[in-house]
């Protein structure tokens, strides 16, 4: 049984590869350096030759609120191409199982909290990342369609905001938590008197370590078989302001924190209802303090 992890060097993909190796599964993780998933012909050829039993699709063009807002065409077009090329190639190669990774941004901007799977398509999306969200919603629909038309046991999983080793720490296009880690680590290193952070600090977010996600996905592969997407969240939420203070404390930064209100906040609150995955026997094992501390250490040693 060969398992293919597309996007295997990224944040989620690398964690999934590590977990599969830990439980002694035969796994191959690929990145764009191995095969260009935007190239339909090359994707079909690669999947046909490899003949995997399971594909876990963690490949995507991703970024924070700033880059999503600035480059909607790329986020919509490239993600549609990547996921459809992989699914269509998997179907042609008769791949038994397929796991599609989405994002919690698929849900309406102002829906009730915590967010249940049923809330999908019940309201307007957050406009700063609506293009990315629509691409992920299309991926869920394609999974449903393959199940309906061909009887495939393929599934979609929707993780909350992820963080951990191999994250993107670029200040212009990363997500909030890795961006904060970089800012405070560098401010501490350079003895900077202040750190400027985006927005008002008031939005509430939920964060999950990528290693916890990897364990959840393996459980879903074994126990979940439904056309509806399944949420994977930690159940803990924190304001961006409190998150910034937590990371400042963990990095030893004691200077001033300044909030730039000209930068976007994004969705005001976003926490998932993870009842379904919890009933399958999974819950997050890594606390936010533990996860941030280990990620700070990883960033200091590797970046």
Q: Which domains does the chain have, with CATH numbers?
A: 2-166+207-235+270-286 (3.40.50.720)
Contact 288, 236 (CB under 8 A): yes
State the pLDDT confidence band at 31, using cuts at 50, 70 and 90.
Answer: very high
Q: Give me the phi and psi of 67, to 5 degrees please.
A: -70, -35
What is the pLDDT at residue 190? 96
Half-sphere exposure of 189 (CA within 13 A, CB side): 10
User: How far apart, in whole angstroms, are the C-alpha atoms of residue 119 and residue 115?
Assistant: 7
- Tokens of residue 104, six digits: 């919690």
pLDDT in tens, 98-129: 999 999 999 999 999 999 999 999 999 999 99
pLDDT in tens, 213-272: 999 999 999 999 999 999 999 998 999 999 999 999 999 999 999 999 988 888 889 999
User: How far apart, in whole angstroms, are the C-alpha atoms of residue 168 and residue 66?
Assistant: 14
Does pLDDT of 171 surpass 90?
no
Sign, Cα dihedral of 185, 190, 193, 194: negative
Cut 0.85: pTM above it: yes
What is the pLDDT at residue 303? 83
Q: What is the mean pLDDT of the chain?
A: 96
More confident residue, 68 or 87: 87
Collapsing DSSP to helix, strand or coil, 50 comes out as helix
Stretch 138-149: mean pLDDT, rounded? Answer: 98
Location of structure tokens 């963990």: 250
Stretch 165-179: mean pLDDT, rounded? Answer: 90
State the pLDDT confidence band at 64, using cuts at 50, 70 and 90.
Answer: confident
Contact 220, 283 (CB under 8 A): no
Q: Which of 132, 146, 163, 299 is catalytic?
A: 132
User: How far apart, in whole angstroms, are the C-alpha atoms of residue 249 and residue 154?
Assistant: 43
Does pLDDT of 194 surpass 90?
yes
* Closest C-alpha to 197, from 277, 260, 267: 260
Does pLDDT of 174 surpass 90?
no
Q: Is the peptide bond before 158 cis (omega within 30 degrees of 0)?
A: no
Using only C-alpha atoms, the chain has a radius of gyration, in whole angstroms, of: 19
Segment (H or E) for 279: helix 275-279
- 132 as an active site residue: the answer is yes
Contact 54, 97 (CB under 8 A): yes
User: How far apart, in whole angstroms, are the C-alpha atoms of residue 2 and residue 140?
Assistant: 24
Residues 6+ apart with CB under 8 A from 131: 68, 72, 73, 75, 76
Stretch 284-288: mean pLDDT, rounded? Answer: 97
- Per-residue DSSP letter, 224: -
What is the pLDDT at residue 251? 94
Segment (H or E) for 237: strand 237-239
Stretch 42-48: mean pLDDT, rounded? Answer: 98
Pairing label, strands 237-239, 204-209: antiparallel
What is the pLDDT at residue 267? 83
């Amino acid at each position: 049984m060969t398992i293919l992890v597309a996007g295997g060097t990224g944040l989620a993909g690398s964690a999934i590869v590590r977990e599969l190796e830990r439980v002694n599964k035969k796994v191959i993780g690929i990145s764009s350096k191995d095969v260009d998933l935007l190239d339909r012909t090359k994707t079909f050829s690669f999947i046909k030759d490899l003949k995997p039993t399971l594909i876990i699709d963690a490949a995507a063009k991703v970024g924070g609120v700033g880059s999503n807002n600035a480059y909607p065409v790329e986020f919509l077009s490239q993600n549609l191409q990547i996921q459809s090329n992989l699914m269509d190639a998997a179907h042609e190669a008769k791949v038994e199982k397929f796991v599609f990774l989405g994002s919690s941004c698929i849900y309406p901007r102002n829906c009730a909290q915590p967010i249940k799977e049923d809330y999908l398509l019940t309201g307007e999306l957050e406009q700063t990342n609506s293009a990315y969200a629509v691409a992920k919603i299309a991926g869920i629909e394609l999974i449903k369609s393959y199940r309906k038309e061909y009887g495939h046991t393929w599934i979609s999983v929707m993780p909350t905001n992820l963080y951990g080793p191999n994250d993107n720490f670029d200040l212009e296009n990363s997500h909030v938590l890795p961006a904060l880690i970089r800012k405070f680590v560098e401010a501490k290193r350079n003895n900077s008197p202040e750190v400027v952070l985006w927005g008002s600090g008031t939005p509430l977010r939920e964060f999950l370590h990528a290693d916890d996600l990897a364990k959840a996905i393996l459980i879903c592969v074994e126990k979940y078989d439904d056309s509806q997407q399944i949420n994977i969240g930690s159940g803990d939420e924190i304001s961006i302001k409190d998150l910034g203070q937590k990371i400042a404390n963990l990095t030893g930064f004691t200077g001033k924190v300044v909030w730039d209100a000209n930068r976007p906040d994004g969705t005001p609150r976003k926490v998932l209802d993870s009842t379904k995955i919890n009933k399958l026997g999974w819950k997050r094992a890594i606390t936010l303090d533990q996860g941030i501390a280990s990620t700070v250490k990883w960033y200091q040693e590797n970046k």
